[in-house]
């Protein structure tokens, strides 16, 4: 950890809270690389979730028009005041991002991107909130656990492919842009990490009812060992004949498992269920 941040944390009496996923980055090269991965440009407004000691906030502010950072832990206030002294385009809001009203935030930001080293214990809820509720988010460039990153970007029919892969695919394309070893963090976590870039693409899949698409995805992964027909029967109360009929009319083998369906297949199936 770089000495100035270390000193600030020490002098302000800050104690790391594992329960809040507090693993900080201080390596300047890595911080700048993440900002470059996100493609932050001088007219961009960036939302950062979990500012920590403000090292990434500072790196983003140097490239962006404005950073709006959220931090749940008020005890970081004196740390952030020091790290961000002289930075006049960063606004810090001490609030649980999960409880923040995205429409209020978007009224202030206009179009924005998210750049964050996410607290790992709430990675999926945080990303889901932005993808599902956000209307003006262009992209999310986020540091997550490496195995979670692999899940976000997995291809159908691989062990990493799951409900979250297909749900992200409804809103965005996902790509791992950087692998980061555990040694890059203070304190050092027990897992390696990766930076994933999610590029939001509205109407990515031809889905008429997004909520139904998600219900179908969750149904397909209800039990990974069961066939699709069985999982659909359980989730939608279909008879075997109904479930098999719907799947066959979509060109899907009723005996197949959920993980063999691509997001495009799930879209087809959801549309069929919505308008049989
Ligand atoms: N951005 C800093 C960095 O890269 O060094 C800190 C990243 S650390 C992995 C995650 C930060 O998110 C912590 O400072 C933690 O207190 C904060 N955090 C945890 N849960 C949060 C939530 N629900 N809303 C906002 N911030 C949260």
Tell me, what's the pLDDT at 275? 83
Q: Which of 56, 52, 20, 21 is nearest to 35 (CA)?
A: 56
Tell me, what's the pLDDT at 3? 62
40 in contact with ligand 1, CB cutoff 6 A: no
CA atoms within 13 A on the CB side of 244: 4
Distance 233 CA to ligand 1 centre (A): 41
Long-range contacts formed by 12-18: CB under 8 A, 24+ apart: 12/78, 12/79, 12/82, 14/53, 14/75, 14/76, 14/78, 14/79, 15/75, 16/187, 17/73
For the chain, give every domain's residue range: 2-200, 210-274
Q: Do 245 and 276 contact (CB within 8 A), yes or no? A: no
Residue of the CA atom closest to atom 17 of ligand 1: 50
Distance 252 CA to ligand 1 centre (A): 43
- Fold entry, domain 2-200: Rossmann fold (3.40.50)
Tell me, what's the pLDDT at 234? 95
Backbone φ and ψ of 4, nearest 5°: -65, -40
Distance 193 CA to ligand 1 centre (A): 15
Length of the chain in terms of residues written: 276
Q: Which residue(s) pair with 94 in the sheet?
A: 71
Mutate to test the pocket of ligand 1, among 15, 25, 47, 72 (most ligand atoms within 8 A of CB): 72
Give mean pLDDT in consecutive 10-residue pieces for the chain, a chain of 276 residues. Answer: 80 96 95 98 98 98 98 98 96 98 96 97 96 96 98 96 96 98 96 98 90 96 92 96 96 95 97 89
Q: Which CATH number fits domain 210-274: 1.10.8.100, 3.90.320.10, 3.40.640.10, 3.10.450.50?
A: 1.10.8.100
């Amino acid at each position: 950890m770089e000495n100035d941040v270390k000193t600030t944390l020490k002098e302000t009496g800050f104690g790391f809270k594992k329960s809040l996923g507090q693993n900080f980055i201080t390596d300047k090269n890595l911080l700048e690389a993440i900002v470059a991965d996100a493609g932050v440009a001088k007219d961009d407004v960036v939302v950062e979730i979990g500012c920590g000691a403000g090292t990434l906030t500072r790196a983003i502010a140097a490239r962006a028009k404005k950073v709006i950072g959220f931090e749940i832990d008020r005890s970081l206030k004196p740390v952030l005041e020091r790290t961000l002294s002289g930075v006049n385009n960063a606004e810090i809001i001490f609030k649980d991002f999960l409880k923040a009203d995205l429409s209020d935030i978007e009224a202030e930001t206009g179009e924005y991107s998210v750049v964050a080293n996410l607290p790992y214990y709430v990675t999926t809820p945080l990303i889901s909130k932005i993808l599902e509720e956000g209307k003006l988010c262009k992209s999310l460039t986020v540091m997550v656990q490496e195995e979670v990153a692999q899940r976000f970007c997995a291809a159908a029919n691989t062990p990493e492919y799951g409900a979250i892969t297909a749900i992200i695919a409804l809103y965005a394309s996902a790509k791992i842009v950087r692998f980061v070893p555990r040694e890059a963090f203070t304190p050092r976590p027990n897992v390696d990490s990766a930076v994933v870039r999610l590029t939001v693409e509205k109407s990515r899949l031809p889905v008429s009812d997004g909520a139904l698409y998600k219900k179908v995805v969750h149904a397909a992964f209800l039990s990974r060992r069961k066939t699709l027909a069985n999982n659909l029967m359980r989730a939608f109360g279909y008879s075997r004949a109904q479930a098999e009929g719907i799947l066959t009319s979509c060109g899907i083998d009723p005996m197949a498992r959920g993980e063999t369906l691509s997001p495009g297949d799930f879209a087809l199936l959801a549309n069929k269920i919505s308008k049989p």
